[in-house]
Amino acid sequence: MLVLSRQKDESIMIGNDVEITIVDVRGDKVRLGISAPRSIEVHRKEIYLAIQKEKAQRGSDDSQETPKTIKHS
């Protein structure tokens, strides 16, 4: 894990397209601004994990379906 120190209004670049800016620091909370192309999904980790769990459940639900019969003429 890379650990960096930044102050308000300073940024971090990830690749050429993602910029993370420190918007505000209040006590133990930091507000981040994230600029990224629309093609890159950005989620809080708890939301990301919920999405992955839902995708895994959908995948296992699909595998439990009975195969469809194909009729040949």
What is the average pLDDT value for the chain, to the nearest integer? Answer: 88
Please give the single-letter amino acid code of residue 65: E
Region 33-46: mean pLDDT is: 97
Residue 70 lies in a domain: no
Q: Count the domains in the chain.
A: 1
**Residue 72 domain-assigned?**
no
Q: Is residue 73 part of a domain?
A: no
CB atoms within 10 A of CB 36: 14
Q: What is the pLDDT of residues 7-33, one digit of tens each?
A: 999 999 999 999 999 999 999 999 999
Q: Is residue 31 part of a domain?
A: yes
**Can you give the residue range of the structural domain that contains 23?**
11-63
In a domain, 38, yes or no: yes
Assigned domain for 4 exists: no
| Distance separating alpha carbons of residues 23 and 16, to the nearest angstrom | 20
Q: Are 33 and 27 in contact (CB under 8 A)?
A: no
Name 71's Cβ contacts closer than 8 Å, sequence gap at least 6. Answer: none
